[in-house]
Chain A
Amino acid sequence: MSEARQEAGPLTGQKWKKPPFIASPWLRYGLLIAVVIYLYWTFNTLPFNWDRIAEGLPRAARIFGGAFPPSFERGELMWTGFKESFQIAFLATLLGVFLSIPIALMAAKNLAPMPIYLLGRGIIILSRSFHPVIVAILFVAAVGFGPLAGILTLTLYSIGFVAKLLAEKVEEIDWGQMEAMRAAGAGFFKTLIYGVFPQILPRQIGLSMYQLDSNLRASAVVGIVGAGGIGSTLMNAFGRYDYDFAFAILILIVGVILVSEGISGWVRKKIW
């Protein structure tokens, strides 16, 4: 057997080759050509301002020169910003988590009748399709600069995520308990409180922790368009070419996010 295989090589003159990842050669080379044409096309049509870009390197050197060493002098301003970011994230998470419960129940196929189901799904899709920053500028336009716009934005953002996953959880609940309660003559709200909620509560708490963490990240970003928090402080520092202060803020943001990620991961591990 092994001799026969060894001889097959020289006899047929064939060498072993790795089978290609995409079997059809047409598709394989077609994809490659398509990528090359796409790259050529985009680099030709996109409006790159090469002169301005060429100035980039000295400018980068200047910015980083200005940013080092990071200045923690205005610590009070930084503290105010972070405190506000935390407050925004916290209030928005609470609000979003509470509002997401009725919406998740509406968007669960096994509980809600068809029109209500569609309404619930519609709310979820709508609140998920926009990046929080876009929602934030709309709220800033509607209710003015400051943390209120941030809270409204992140509440909507939380509803999109928490309600979606919670609705999936509601659709997976053990139906036996519901049937038992209905057979005993319990009304809709009693089955909800004693049949559904105990089954989805652990998931809801885990999701809330995750959402608090992700809202804390997002609150730094929505501030850039004027919705309060540390993002507003960062944007002001950038606008005033205060790069050493901006760099200090960036370092702190990264630090805070790492810490909050650690805490929320630890809590969720405890719960789940």
Chain B
Amino acid sequence: MVEQTAEFTTRPWTRYSRKERWIRFAIYFITLFAVVWAIRDIDIFWPWVWDAPTQIQNLGGRMWPPEFEAWSAILNAMLETVHIATLSTLLTIFIALPVSYIAAQNTTPNRLTLWIGRFILVSSRSVNTIIWALLFVAIFGPGVLAGILAVMFRSVGFIGKLMGEAIEEIDRRPVEAMEATGASRMKVVLFGIVPQVMPAFFAIVILRWDINIRESTVLGLVGAGGIGVLLQGSIDTFAWQTVATILLAIIVLVLVGEALTSLLRKKAL
């Protein structure tokens, strides 16, 4: 006992134990090594790096002042962007709800459907909207439909996953009570589960709509409709002042979307 105290008092204070220190050094070393490797190996033409600030300033100069001549075309494209976001969010709901039902552990009929549901959700989320758009443009040709489908395929994973989690968190007792009275499966879902997940549903859909507006602004870069088509066209023709206007319009759209969704969230929930 006494010896122990003596040992404690003579031991110098350190923040980390020996093992922790070694782990920290190892992490620092690995990070440093990775940085050196990445910088040496990456295919960058270094003179361009030193030149970059000038080039970016140059580009900014060419954009100023924004030119508002094409405002009606921009407005139309904006409207199309909003339509793509809204339609795809609305349509996604019909796919995402059944998928979330089979992907939730407490409602899925059996293990196989659970894994099918999980697989749909994961594969939808791990492919980006732009990549989905690339695929649908190849299939259906450039245009709005490819954009809507791309945003839909991406949103299914998002809405389905969050809804599945909401379903897994419900209070089981109303469901059990209804099952005990002999209610059919349909009725249990309609009266036992749906009312419990309704608030979560609206919150998730509103959130996704907000995200989809941002996603829809870039679809046009691969030819899938919306403001991106106009943006790509202006860049290709070096109409930098129009590009500036489009960028301003996108900022306004995103801010309006954000304001609208926060208002909706406050009102509806």
Contacts and interface: CB of A to CB of B under 8 A. Distances in A.
Interface string B185-196: 000001100010
Interface in B129-151: 130-131, 134-135, 138-141, 143-145
Interface string A27-43: 00000000100110010
B134 A143 contact: no
A130 B198 contact: no
A63 interface: yes
Nearest to A128: B254
Residue from B195, B221, B255 whose CB has the most chain A CB atoms within 10 Å: B221
Contacts of A129: 250-251, 254-255
A253 B127 contact: yes
Interface residues of A, number: 58
A175 interface: no
B122 A258 contact: yes
Interface in A112-151: 126, 129-131, 133-134, 137-139, 141-144, 146-148, 151
A83 B41 contact: yes
B42 A88 contact: yes
B49 A148 contact: yes
Contacts, number: 143
A246 to B, nearest CB: 9
Interface in A143-188: 143-144, 146-148, 151-152
Contacts of B42: 84, 87-88, 91, 147
Interface residues on B, range: 35 or more
Interface in A1-45: 18, 21, 35, 38-39, 42, 45
A99 interface: no
Q: Main secondary structure on chain A at its contact with chain B?
A: helix
B106 interface: no
B218 A131 contact: yes
B58 A142 contact: yes
Contact of A90 (B38, B126, B214, B218): B38
Interface stretch (A53-61, A68-76, A103-111): A53-61
A101 interface: no
A196 interface: no
B44 A146 contact: yes
B141 A130 contact: no
Top 5 A-B residue pairs of the complex, sorted by shortest distance between their CB atoms = A52-B141, A87-B38, A56-B140, A133-B218, A142-B59
Interface of B: 34-35, 38-39, 41-45, 48-49, 51-52, 55-56, 58-59, 80, 83, 86-87, 90, 122-123, 126-128, 130-131, 134-135, 138-141, 143-145, 190-191, 195, 198, 214-215, 217-218, 221-222, 228, 231-232, 235, 247, 250-251, 254-255
